[in-house]
Amino acid sequence: METKQDFRREVAKRRKALEADCAIKMSEAITEKVISLKEYRESSLILVYIDYKNEVQTGMIMEAAWRDGKAVAAPKVNGKQMDFYLLNSMDDLESGYMGIMEPKAGLEKTEAEAGMMVMPGVAFDRALHRVGYGGGFYDRFLEAHPGIKRVAVAYEFQLFDQVPHEEFDLEPDMIVTETSVYRPQAPAEEPARQEYFISVLGQWVGEQERTLGRKLTACIQTFGCQMNAKDSEKLAGILGQAGYVLSESEASDFVLYNTCTVRDNANQRVYGRLGYLNSLKQKNPNMIIALCGCMMQEQTVIDKIKKSYRFVDLIFGTHNVYKLAELLCERVMSRGKMVVDVWEQAEGIVEELPAERKYSFKSGVNIMYGCNNFCSYCIVPYVRGRERSRAPQEILAEIRRLVADGVVEVMLLGQNVNSYGKTLENPMTFAELLKEVEKIEGLERIRFMTSHPKDLSDELIQVMKESKKICRHLHLPLQSGSSRILKIMNRRYDKDGYLALVDKLKREIPDLSLTTDIIVGFPGETEEDFMETMDVVEKVRYDSAFTFIYSKRTGTPAAAMEQVPEDVTHERFDRLLAKVQEISAEVCGKDTGKVMTALVEGLDEKENGMVTGRLSNNIMVHFSGDASLIGTICKVRLDESRGFYYMGTRID
């Protein structure tokens, strides 16, 4: 066969030979596949051609769409053009040209620019080329309505190895037959490739929903830092777009642990939870369990999971979080085989994918990935890779989109934001980036973390001082107050340098709130070293501090050093914690009586009729209000300090 007419004659012959009951069963199978499509679920309007002479029976699709509460429209040729008219039932159709049913007179014409069309065709090939009926009516309509998704339906015998292809025979986005859904080959470029796999995964989710008679649920448990929390928002966005319903329950159809490996107890916690997930999977064999994040970047962890936790279905790392849909598609196609895809280093930065934000009014924004500092106790450079900065125009575009979507506060995220821009083709300092972010209209607040003391420049201090949007809070990790220990930690600053930096910050920005991280019991720490840390705490007087007992991490230089006895470490930790809490209670009350602005983040969990807001200095305040205030910035008088938070009164 060479010409279109040859294919038309051949398909007509095959249709004529098709028995009626067989045509019904094949059309039913096609209908089930169509209504399982992500494109169908997302469309409120379904445009459907009316079948003729043993074509796929589209009336089944129309009936399903009405049951699902969707609007349905059918075509009618008016002169040289075709229009679609809204139908309420099959009774709105009457016999028309050549006996083909068409909408009755007087029905409403749809002008919709979006929706899904069930598109006819005589013959197709698997490259999605199409032989139409020759009139070009559908092609002209679709060219005028590019926002409409094009789903062709056909019997498998209408597919050939190759059909004549001409530009005016518009290609469908996919072809649905009684056995398969044919899509274009997955693009190589990102993020188009992941958008493709989200659609494919959405089809599978839809099929499972039809089989089970309910929605599929997904649960993401996040361990660790703000970077992991941001990654989890991306993972949730991908799952949500594919059709999963997000749940807090681990008794879900898909459970994903986004892991942390900064401390060994984080690893042990994950292993413990996996035992619980195994018991859930025994009750629901179709449950899919996935692990990602920093912990998965360690080969010893992967080996252990393969050996002792073989019920895990999917493992991936920190560098390919964006590939969740593709990897999940690979898993469901592999029929039970564990899929492992962990990269040693990133192959690029892919950000333009859906995200399910925890808060509608504030959001984290990744500005860089990885770390080059190699502190002797830290596993992060080994599991997150070397520093990679995002292009400033991409960051600014993302923030503008967030602001347009109602975000008033952003948190710029990186393992060391102060070294932002060094890997860019045209280097840019973090201070320069902040100046650009400040210019974005509608953005009210800017936060950032984490800052490494060795890279905190005078330029950055000046930008913070002059800014109207950068919050008056800086997290400045100390880790130890002993210059000797700091050198062994490879922190590249000493006690005097840190204190000088704090003095400069307080002098230039007097109302700045300082918080920090401190490790107790680092290998080789003596009582004298510990007292140096206590001295810094007393001199700086932090608003709060995250205090940690040193945790040995295999693969880091500190793991091979002489460890401090546990009882000594715990005794020092208790002394430090008491001192930090004593100072925090005093420092956090210094603004009592002042009027400050607070971003309302939610309802008070303990007292009805109260809301909780976050001040610029990162301290919380509770005051009277209701849910309508959430996401707004209110003026609040700080009436009483309760140690680590305030009770206040809203000022209208």
% of the chain with per-residue pLDDT over 90: 82
Give the pLDDT band (50/70/90) at residue 315: very high
pLDDT of residue 222: 95
Interatomic CA distance for residues 158 and 170, integer angstroms: 17
- Greater pLDDT, 168 or 19: 19
Beta strands in 494-632 (DSSP E): 513-520, 544-549, 595-603, 610-615, 620-624
CA 485 to chain centre: 38
99-131 pLDDT, tens digit per residue, is 889 999 999 999 888 999 999 889 999 889 999
Place of tokens 């009277």: 624
- Give the residue among 580, 552, 554 at the shortest CA–CA distance from 566: 552
**What's the average model confidence in pLDDT over 500-523?**
97
% of the chain with per-residue pLDDT over 70: 100
pLDDT of residue 463: 98
**Of 108-122, 155-169, 267-281, minimum mean pLDDT range:** 155-169
**Of 46-55, 60-69, 475-484, minimum mean pLDDT range:** 46-55
Question: C-alpha angle 586/587/591, rounded to 5°?
Answer: 110
448-472 pLDDT, tens digit per residue, is 999 999 999 999 999 999 999 999 9
CATH architecture of 595-651: Beta Barrel (2.40)
**What's the average model confidence in pLDDT over 426-430?**
95
Are 473 and 515 spatial neighbours (Cβ–Cβ below 8 Å)?
yes
pLDDT of residue 168: 67
pLDDT of residue 100: 87
pLDDT of residue 227: 86
177-205 pLDDT, tens digit per residue, is 999 999 988 888 999 999 999 999 999 99
What's the whole-model pTM score? 0.78
- Give the residue among 416, 414, 421, 364 at the shortest CA–CA distance from 389: 421
Enter the tokens of residue 223.
Answer: 């361990």
Its CATH class, for the domain covering 362-587, is: alpha beta
**What's the average model confidence in pLDDT over 38-67?**
94
Are 147 and 141 spatial neighbours (Cβ–Cβ below 8 Å)?
no
576-612 pLDDT, tens digit per residue, is 999 999 999 999 889 999 999 999 999 998 899 999 9
223-246 pLDDT, tens digit per residue, is 988 888 999 999 999 999 999 999
**What's the average model confidence in pLDDT over 383-393?**
92
Domain coordinates in residue numbering, the chain? 4-182, 192-341, 362-587, 595-651
- Give the residue among 55, 221, 69 at the shortest CA–CA distance from 154: 55
CATH architecture of 4-182: 3-Layer(aba) Sandwich (3.40)
397-420 pLDDT, tens digit per residue, is 999 999 999 999 999 999 999 999
619-651 pLDDT, tens digit per residue, is 999 999 999 999 999 999 999 999 889 999 999
CA distances from residue 28 to 23, 37, 177, 628 in whole angstroms, order as listed: 9, 15, 10, 48
| pLDDT at residue 167 tops 70 | no
On the question of a cis peptide bond just before residue 450, with omega within 30 degrees of 0, the verdict is yes
**What's the average model confidence in pLDDT over 47-70?**
94
The yes or no reply on domain 192-341 and CATH 3.40.50.1000 is no
pLDDT of residue 380: 87
Interatomic CA distance for residues 555 and 358, integer angstroms: 34
CB neighbourhood size of 246 (10 A):
15
pLDDT of residue 80: 81
Q: Is it true that 362-587 and 595-651 share their CATH fold?
A: no
Are 541 and 534 spatial neighbours (Cβ–Cβ below 8 Å)?
no
Interatomic CA distance for residues 266 and 286, integer angstroms: 27
pLDDT of residue 467: 97
Enter the tokens of residue 626.
Answer: 């209701």
How buried is 130 (Cβ within 10 angstroms: 0-12 exposed, 13-18 middle, 19+ buried)? buried
pLDDT of residue 202: 93
| pLDDT at residue 347 tops 80 | no
Query: In the chain, what is the greatest distance between 2 CA atoms, to the nearest angstrom?
Result: 98
- Greater pLDDT, 335 or 160: 160
- Greater pLDDT, 306 or 351: 306
- How high does pLDDT run on average in the chain? 93
Enter the tokens of residue 54.
Answer: 């043993």
Give the pLDDT band (50/70/90) at residue 511: very high
| pLDDT at residue 349 tops 80 | no
